[in-house]
Amino acid sequence: MHEMALAESVVQIVEAAAAREGAGCVKRVRLEIGALSHADANALRFAFDAAAAGGVAKGAELAISRAEGRAWCHDCAKDVAISGLGDPCPDCGGYDLKLTAGDALRVVDMEVT
């Protein structure tokens, strides 16, 4: 389950940011998960709770939003939404696409006390 490794990385980022800000407790963490990232939101929530146990993010709410997949189509010279890697351009049907968004997971922000 790669979600556990992702959750551990998120917790490290959150704990480092909390330490820099002098925060004693993290109440909420907002993540953005790209639709093409292959990360399962439910598995990530479970893994986050386990990874955060005993730290400043213990019990923190994990708010997850999804970012759509996007690519530049070289055939029709457009930025297009795509739902899967290897899918053709929804406008022209071409396959000469360069992924531009939707494959990442990022910490957007967090609420601390």
pLDDT tens per residue, range 18-34: 999 999 999 999 999 99
May I ask the CATH class of domain 2-112? Answer: alpha beta
- Beta strands 61-67 and 26-34 are parallel
Backbone angles phi, psi at 20, to 5 degrees: -60, -35
Tokens 């759509």 identify what position? Answer: 68
The pLDDT tens digits of the residues spanning 62-78 come to 999 999 999 999 999 99
Distance CA 29, CA 42 (A): 15
Sign of CA dihedral 17, 19, 56, 110: negative
Q: Is the pLDDT of residue 1 over 80?
A: no
* Beta-bridge partner residues of 32: 65, 106
Q: Is the pTM of this model over 0.75?
A: yes
